[in-house]
């Protein structure tokens, strides 16, 4: 090589530098973003678009200003379009402000009832029911609290009305759709064919089983067709980057660990190394990632836009790098033991089991689990509460609802289906008439004032001969639609002896 001195043996000296390694990374600088904003591809994730409904007017205006400035560089995978329309009508999206106001109001009502119950219980237990002076002071305090709560609910409702978008009920009057259509028209990728989609879902499952990003975390809580969404988006991004051969900036509010290497307070978060390697090998270009709030900050810096710092702060609040809080060890260690004991009791208490309908074992197991859980939790200082006809143990702020979802090993998706089937109103045609035959859990009454985040389903499968096959602890979110979605799922060990 000209200008170089050959090493002994005739080998040329290596040109490899410190950053010529798959695991190496460079912290992006202003010049990188200037290059991308001028000649790169800016890919928007679904949450960036949906946030326009959840944001207040100021943040929405600033976001639209930045997107309009980047219009020529923006590209949207078709998967984003699919997810946008699938989620747009959810109460947590288009009705975000009214939904959150309703939730806050319910929480305040719950707090009011708790205060009343606590005061009544205290008066009774210390025998001050007939003490006129104490009663007058407590009554005065009750009135002050009631007035404060009323004022808060009024404030929350007025703010919701102020921030909520008008005209979203119809697509032709929806200001978000109108604004986005002008920016995104002609900048949306093609959908996968049926064959391509089937292959992508299969590949997403294969990658998830091996922990290959992105999207493997979604397979813990969603059916495969939905869990594959992140990988489908990524696959479409790879193909477009290969076609354009330019660096990619992915803007996403998804802050899970299957997209990001988290920052540690001294170094910023960065894309997962595997993603950068895959894009580099496929398209020969570099991957950059920003959250929506970071995009506003960079656009303000490079384009000279006037972005309200409160807009950046508002978006950043929803982008907190949430570390999944593990379930208390006291629960994850004890529950497998309780399930095993319940199985032994159920097995000992029956002589045989049937294969038709609900087995004798299934009925015995249900009763044994309920009794075992409540006995152990009460001994540990917890309490019991009836929910949907079941006596549930309340321990470590989790309301434990045992649920045997199959008599043979089945996927977690089957558990989700069974829960949504059982905890909903089911109608059957009887003698030509539509009748409600079973309504195990009237959601609107049983769950009123109850924080769904505290409900933890203990999901398990078992049979009389083999005992517990699998068990999970799962917290859920009860949507206004009356359907459950997973918030957090953890597989539990199985005790066999």
Work out the number of other CB atoms within 10 angstroms of the CB of residue 86.
12
Please answer whether residues 54 and 164 qualify as being in contact, where contact means their C-beta atoms are separated by less than 8 angstroms: no
pLDDT attached to residue 489: 76
DSSP line for 106-124: HHHHHHHHHHHHHHHHHHH
Per-residue model confidence (pLDDT) at position 139? 87
DSSP code string of 5-28: PPPGGGPPPP---TT-STT-----
**DSSP sequence for 210-268:** TTPSSSGGGGGTS-HHHHTHHHHHHHHHHHHHHHHT--EEEE-----TTTEEPP-SSS-
CA 225 vs CA 40, 79, 228: distances in Å: 31, 12, 6
Q: How far is 37 from 32, CA to CA, in rounded Å?
A: 9
Residue pLDDT, tens place only, 233-247? 999 999 999 999 999
Supply 132's token pair.
């006129």
Instruction: List the chain pLDDT tens, one digit each, 497 residues.
Output: 444 444 555 566 668 777 777 777 788 889 999 999 999 999 999 999 999 998 888 889 999 999 999 999 999 999 999 999 988 888 778 877 888 888 888 888 888 888 888 888 888 888 887 788 888 888 898 899 989 999 999 999 888 888 887 888 888 999 999 999 999 999 999 999 999 999 999 999 999 888 899 988 888 777 888 889 999 999 999 999 999 999 999 999 888 888 888 765 445 678 889 999 999 999 999 999 999 988 998 888 898 888 888 788 778 776 754 444 567 777 888 999 999 999 999 988 875 544 444 468 888 999 999 999 988 888 877 777 776 677 888 777 778 889 999 988 887 777 877 877 776 543 333 333 333 333 333 343 444 444 443 678 899 999 998 999 989 888 765 544 455 666 677 888 898 87
Specify the pLDDT at position 266: 47
**How many whole angstroms separate alpha carbon 283 and alpha carbon 248?**
10
Domain boundaries, the chain: 25-94+169-317, 96-163, 329-492
The tens digit of pLDDT for each residue in 227-236 reads 899 999 999 9
pLDDT at 33: 93
**What pLDDT sits at residue 428?**
36
CA atoms of 2 and 13, how far apart (whole Å): 12
Quick one: tokens of 348?
A: 């000992």
Q: Which two tokens stand for residue 226?
A: 């939905």
Residue 327 DSSP one-character state:
P
Phi-psi group of 10: left, alpha or beta (phi > 0 → left; psi -120 to 50 → alpha; rest → beta): left
Q: Which residue has the tokens 């207040």?
A: 56
SS3 318: coil
The first and second tokens of residue 82, run together, are 């699919």
- As a whole number of angstroms, the distance between CA 310 and CA 284 comes to 38
The whole-number pLDDT of residue 423 equals 64
């Amino acid at each position: 090589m000209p200008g170089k001195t050959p090493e002994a043996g005739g080998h040329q000296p290596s040109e490899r530098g410190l950053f010529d390694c798959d695991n190496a990374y460079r912290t992006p600088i202003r010049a990188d973003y200037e290059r991308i904003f001028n000649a790169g591809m800016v890919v928007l994730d679904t949450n960036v678009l949906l946030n326009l409904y959840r944001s207040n007017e100021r943040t929405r205006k600033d976001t639209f200003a930045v997107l309009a400035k980047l219009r020529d560089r923006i590209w949207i995978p078709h998967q984003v379009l699919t997810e946008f329309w699938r989620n747009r009508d959810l109460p947590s999206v288009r009705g975000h402000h009214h939904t959150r106001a309703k939730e806050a109001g319910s929480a305040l009502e719950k707090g009011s009832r708790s205060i009343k119950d606590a005061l009544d219980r205290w008066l009774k237990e210390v025998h001050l029911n007939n003490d006129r002076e104490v009663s007058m002071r407590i009554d005065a305090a009750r009135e002050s609290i009631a007035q404060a709560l009323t004022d808060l609910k009024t404030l929350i409702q007025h703010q919701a009305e102020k921030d909520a978008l008008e005209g979203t009920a119809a697509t032709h009057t929806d200001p978000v759709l109108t604004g986005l259509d002008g920016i995104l028209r002609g900048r949306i990728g093609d959908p996968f064919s049926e064959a391509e989609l089937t292959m992508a879902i299969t590949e997403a499952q294969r990658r998830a089983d091996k922990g290959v990003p992105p999207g493997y975390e979604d397979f813990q809580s969603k059916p495969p067709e939905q869990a594959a969404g992140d990988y489908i988006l990524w696959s479409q991004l790879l193909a477009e980057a290969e076609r354009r051969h330019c660096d990619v900036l992915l803007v996403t509010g998804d802050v899970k660990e299957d997209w990001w290497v988290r920052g540690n307070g001294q170094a910023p978060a960065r894309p997962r190394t595997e993603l950068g390697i895959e894009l580099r090998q496929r398209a020969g270009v570099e991957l950059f990632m920003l959250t929506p709030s970071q995009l506003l900050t960079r656009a303000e810096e490079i384009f000279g836009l006037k972005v309200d710092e409160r807009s950046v702060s508002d978006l950043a609040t929803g982008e907190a790098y949430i570390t999944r809080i593990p379930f208390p060890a006291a629960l994850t260690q004890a529950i497998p033991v309780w399930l095993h004991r319940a199985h032994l009791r159920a097995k000992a208490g029956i002589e045989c089991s049937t294969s038709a309908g609900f087995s004798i074992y299934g009925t015995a197991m249900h009763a044994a689990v309920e009794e075992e859980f409540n006995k152990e939790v009460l001994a540990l200082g917890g309490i019991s509460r009836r929910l949907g006809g079941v006596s549930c143990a309340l321990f470590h702020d989790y309301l434990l609802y045992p649920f045997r979802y199959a008599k043979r090993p089945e996927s977690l998706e089957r558990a989700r289906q069974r829960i949504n089937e059982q905890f909903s109103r089911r109608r059957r045609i009887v003698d030509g008439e539509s009748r409600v035959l079973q309504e195990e859990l009237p959601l609107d009454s049983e769950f009123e004032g109850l924080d769904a985040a505290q409900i933890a389903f203990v999901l398990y499968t078992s049979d009389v001969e083999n005992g517990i096959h699998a068990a999970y602890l799962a917290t859920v979110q009860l949507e206004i639609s009356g359907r459950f979605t997973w918030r957090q799922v953890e597989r539990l060990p199985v005790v066999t002896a």
